[in-house]
């Protein structure tokens, strides 16, 4: 089996059927074997290997988490939780971990972490950001409380139930015969080109979102759309839905508000670009951490179906 796209491949069993079992949850929270992954201001705690720096429950008793702990799942018969220690000004000192571990941005460590650990970071980070942004009810404005091991917040006043968000984004490799369409945003490093992408809007199918985004950004009309692969992207809560899109037209009209440029590339050009390390060449594509890389590579390899 090929290795999973980064941020997917979580080996924990999410045990969603146990989240409402208060006695079971209480026992796991107090179990000295349970493991707790601290996040501080959206950064994750890692050791030098690098590896996730799991803490024990006694360590967590010394902090006052803003949300949770959030149950991540069971692994090796042991419960795993994420905790938010953002309220601490000097978390490493307070946790007694100065010199032993560091808080890092996920992108700084994801390529070096085992696939399952990177996916656990995506789960924990996404959940904790959601909690941080939903402390008040979107219906009536009153405070909400954590329920179901972190997978729901309930309004204290009107009982409205709020669930963690995942925002769908289509990201598509648009191809026409032996060429494919890539674009560049002004913020990209010089020389980098990637697949087009955009948020799915309410009342829109994935296929419709692909056709609309490609037409808006490049003026290209898309016919057949096929789902290819997906990637959790916890920045803060996206699910990247990778598609292969067949172009019906080839004349490009670039939307300069969205893109700096868009153009057609041959398989040969991109076969070379994939091998180039980032920022060392006139033409390169996003690194393997991003699903855009996998869409381009699969198309170059002839796996667009």
How near is the Cβ of 157 to Zn ion at its closest, in Å?
5
State the minimum distance, in angstroms, from the CB of residue 148 to Zn ion.
17
Task: Give the shortest CB-158-to-Zn ion separation in angstroms.
Answer: 3
Q: How many helices (H) and strands (E) does the chain have?
A: 8, 16
Measured from the CB atom, the residue of 115 and 160 that comes closer to Zn ion is 160
Q: Could you give the string, one character per residue 27-56, with x where binding to Zn ion holds by CB under 5 A and - elsewhere?
A: ------------------------------
Q: Does 210 bind Zn ion (CB under 5 A)?
A: no
| Residue 57 falls in which region: left (phi positive, over 0), alpha (psi -120 to 50) or beta | alpha
Q: Provide the minimum distance between the beta carbon of 159 and Zn ion in the complex, in angstroms, as a whole number.
A: 7
Give residues 128-167 in contact with Zn ion (rule: CB under 5 A). 137, 139-140, 155, 157-158, 160
CB within 8 Å of 146: residues ≥ 6 apart:
67, 68, 131, 152, 153
Residue with Cβ nearer Zn ion (120 or 137)? 137
Distance CA 299, CA 281 (A): 21
| Strands 55-56, 152-155: pairing kind | unpaired
Count of positions on this chain that bind Zn ion (CB under 5 A): 7
- Of the two residues 154 and 204, which places its CB atom closer to Zn ion in the complex? 154
CA distance 256 to 259: 5
- In angstroms, what is the minimal distance from the CB of 145 to Zn ion? 11
Q: What angle do CA 7, 298, 260 make, to 5 degrees?
A: 80
> Would you say 112 or 140 has its CB closer to Zn ion?
140
In whole angstroms, what is the distance from residue 124 CA to residue 107 CA?
Answer: 14
Three state DSSP letters for 34-69? CEEEEEECCEEEEECCCEECCEEHHHHCCCCCCCCC
**Cβ distance to Zn ion smaller for residue 59 or 139:** 139
Minimal distance, residue 143 CB to Zn ion, in Å: 9
Q: By CB neighbour count within 10 A (0-12 exposed, 13-18 middle, 19+ buried), where does 89 fall?
A: exposed
x/- track of binding to Zn ion for residues 160-189 (CB under 5 A): x-----------------------------
* Minimum CB–partner distance for residue 152 and Zn ion (Å): 13
Q: Between residues 142 and 301, which has the closer beta carbon with respect to Zn ion?
A: 142
Q: Which residues lie across from 78 on neighbouring strands? A: 75
Residue 227, helix vs strand vs coil: strand
Residues that bind Zn ion (CB under 5 A): 137, 139-140, 155, 157-158, 160
């Amino acid at each position: 089996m090929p290795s999973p796209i980064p941020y997917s491949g979580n080996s924990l069993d999410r045990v969603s059927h146990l989240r409402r079992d208060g006695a079971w949850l209480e026992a796991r929270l107090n179990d000295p074997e349970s493991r707790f992954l601290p996040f501080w201001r959206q950064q994750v705690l890692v050791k030098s290997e690098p590896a996730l720096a799991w803490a024990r429950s006694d360590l967590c008793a010394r902090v006052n988490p803003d949300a949770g702990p959030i149950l991540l799942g069971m692994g090796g018969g042991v419960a795993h939780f994420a905790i938010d220690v953002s309220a601490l000004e000097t978390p490493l000192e307070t946790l007694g971990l100065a010199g032993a571990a560091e808080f890092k941005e996920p992108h700084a460590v994801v390529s070096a972490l085992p696939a399952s650990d990177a996916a656990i970071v995506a789960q924990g980070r996404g959940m904790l950001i959601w909690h941080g942004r939903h402390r008040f009810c979107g219906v009536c404005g009153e405070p909400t409380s954590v329920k179901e091991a972190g997978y729901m917040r309930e309004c204290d006043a009107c009982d409205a139930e709020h669930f963690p968000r995942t925002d769908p984004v289509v990201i598509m490799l648009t191809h026409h015969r032996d060429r494919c369409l890539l674009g560049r945003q002004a913020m990209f490093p010089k020389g980098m080109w990637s697949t087009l992408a955009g948020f799915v809007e309410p009342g829109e199918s994935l296929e419709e979102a692909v056709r609309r985004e490609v037409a808006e950004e490049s003026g290209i009309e898309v016919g057949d759309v096929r789902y290819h692969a997906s990637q959790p992207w916890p920045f803060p809560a996206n699910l990247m839905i990778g598609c292969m899109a067949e172009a019906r037209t080839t004349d490009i009209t670039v939307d300069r508000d969205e893109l700096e440029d868009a153009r057609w590339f041959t398989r040969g050009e991109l076969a070379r670009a994939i091998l180039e390390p980032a920022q060392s060449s006139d033409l390169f594509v996003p690194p393997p951490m991003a699903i855009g890389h996998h869409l381009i590579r699969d198309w170059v390899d002839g796996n667009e179906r």
